[in-house]
């Protein structure tokens, strides 16, 4: 890509983002179609499906389960689309395969801020634990590690002693 003026960057980024979002939607549609095909095969083959799938379908078991789940619960995705559950803000899911599966897990409803906050707090605790372990390995005092973590905005209650 040859860009000669910085003024062109915003519109080029916007065009690229539109393409990305279109392809996410294409991927979701393709995953739903795969789920539909696999559900059809399972219905037709009955007890022979598992062996047939192992011999003929080159997907992991998890992918197969996720695609079938997407197809079988598509009504939740459709309702969610109509209710503005998909988008780019923090209180919306992305319209991707993973975003649709998360939406299905949540019954087609928007993600709750409470769940997002709990997830963020868990991530911060894990990051703090990793940082503390690194500080121990580097022979930095626990007090220095706690001080640095507090300066970085982490809640430091009691770190495990060295």
> Rounded to the nearest 5°, which phi and psi values hold at 89?
-90, 170
Domain map of the chain by residue range?
A: 6-110, 112-162
Residue matched to tokens 């279109």: 22
Round to whole Å and give the CA distance between 102 and 119.
14
Q: What angle do CA 156, 160, 162 make, to 5 degrees?
A: 125
Whether 93 contacts 102, CB under 8 Å: yes
Round to whole Å and give the CA distance between 47 and 30.
26
Tell me the average pLDDT across 104-120: 76
Q: Of 146, 141, 148, 144, give the one whose Cα is nearest residue 162.
A: 141
Within 8 A by CB and 6+ apart from 24, the residues are 94, 95, 96
Tell me the average pLDDT across 82-97: 80
pLDDT (tens digit per residue) in 9-35: 777 777 776 777 778 778 888 999 999
Q: Is the pLDDT assigned to residue 119 strictly greater than 50?
A: yes
Tell me the average pLDDT across 146-161: 65
Residue matched to tokens 């549609």: 29
Dig out the tokens for 50 from the structure: 């598992």
What radius of gyration do the chain's Cα atoms show? 23
Question: What percent of the chain clears pLDDT 90, i.e. is strictly above it?
Answer: 18
pLDDT (tens digit per residue) in 31-86: 999 999 999 998 888 899 899 888 898 888 999 999 999 999 999 999 988 888 88
Whether 142 contacts 162, CB under 8 Å: yes
Within 8 A by CB and 6+ apart from 16, the residues are none
Predicted TM-score (pTM) of this structure: 0.60
pLDDT band at 161 (very low <50, low <70, confident <90, very high): very low
């Amino acid at each position: 890509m040859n860009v000669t003026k910085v003024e062109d960057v915003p519109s080029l980024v916007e065009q690229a983002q539109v393409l990305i979002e279109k392809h996410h939607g294409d991927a979701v549609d393709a995953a739903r179609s795969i789920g539909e095909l696999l559900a059809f095969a399972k219905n037709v083959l009955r007890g022979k499906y598992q062996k047939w799938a192992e011999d003929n379908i080159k997907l992991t078991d998890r992918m197969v389960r996720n695609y079938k789940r997407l197809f079988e619960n598509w009504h939740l995705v459709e309702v969610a689309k109509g209710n503005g559950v998909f988008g780019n803000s923090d209180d919306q899911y992305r319209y991707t395969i993973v975003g649709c599966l998360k939406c299905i897990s949540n019954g087609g409803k928007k993600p709750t801020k409470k769940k997002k906050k709990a997830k963020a707090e868990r991530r911060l605790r894990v990051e703090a634990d990793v940082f503390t372990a690194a500080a121990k390995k580097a022979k930095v005092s626990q007090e220095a590690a706690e001080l640095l973590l507090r300066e970085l905005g982490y809640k430091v209650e009691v770190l495990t002693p060295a």
